[in-house]
């Protein structure tokens, strides 16, 4: 069951997931060390998702400001091939099993197609959600909005 989208000012739901290299990451490990941007997306190798993630890849100024973690319901093996094909060096996290559990915690799991919606959450070093947006699957998000949200975090640890 999908929870409501957690609000700005609330603690980010913690989770553990494997990245495209099979390494297990826990969101709470970034607390006190680095701001995090969670980028949920529906499918690896799809047009809109590819456009968004390539645009992010091409913004090193933005990538330096936080730990970007892109989350989809694709398998770790699919994410590895996707990262290699698109030269994506930030973390791609698999929400494959239990299917969509992380997206459901963040209120962005769409059960009908079995994918994550296009949701983004900026989380500060204290583990608190400071900005979020959820777009329809067909509508790309603005990287300038990410930059503005991260700038609003001020001088907190990056």
121 forms beta bridges with: 38, 132
Q: Among the options 27, 49, 129, 149, which is catalytic?
A: 49
**Residue 43 · residue 135 · CB < 8 Å:** no
Can 73 be counted among the known catalytic residues?
Answer: no
* Residue where the block lists tokens 């900005």: 131
DSSP code of 25?
E
- Phi, psi (deg, nearest 5) at residue 69: -125, 110
DSSP, collapsed to helix, strand or coil, labels residue 121 as strand
Contacts of 101 (CB under 8 A, 6+ apart): 15, 95
The catalytic residues are 49
């Amino acid at each position: 069951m999908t929870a409501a989208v957690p609000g700005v000012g609330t603690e980010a739901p913690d989770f553990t997931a494997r990245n495209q290299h099979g390494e297990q990451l826990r969101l709470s490990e970034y607390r006190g060390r680095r701001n995090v941007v969670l980028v949920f997306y529906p499918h690896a190798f799809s047009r809109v998702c590819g456009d968004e993630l390539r645009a992010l890849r091409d913004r090193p100024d933005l990538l330096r400001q936080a730990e970007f973690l892109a989350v989809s319901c694709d398998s770790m093996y699919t994410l590895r091939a996707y990262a290699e094909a698109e030269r994506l060096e930030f973390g791609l996290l698999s929400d494959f099993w239990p299917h969509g559990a992380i997206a459901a915690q963040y209120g962005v799991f769409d059960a009908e197609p079995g994918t994550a919606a296009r949701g983004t959450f900026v989380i500060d070093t204290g583990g608190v959600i400071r900005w979020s947006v959820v777009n329809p699957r067909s509508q790309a998000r603005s990287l300038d909005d990410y930059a503005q949200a991260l700038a609003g975090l001020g001088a907190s640890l990056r």
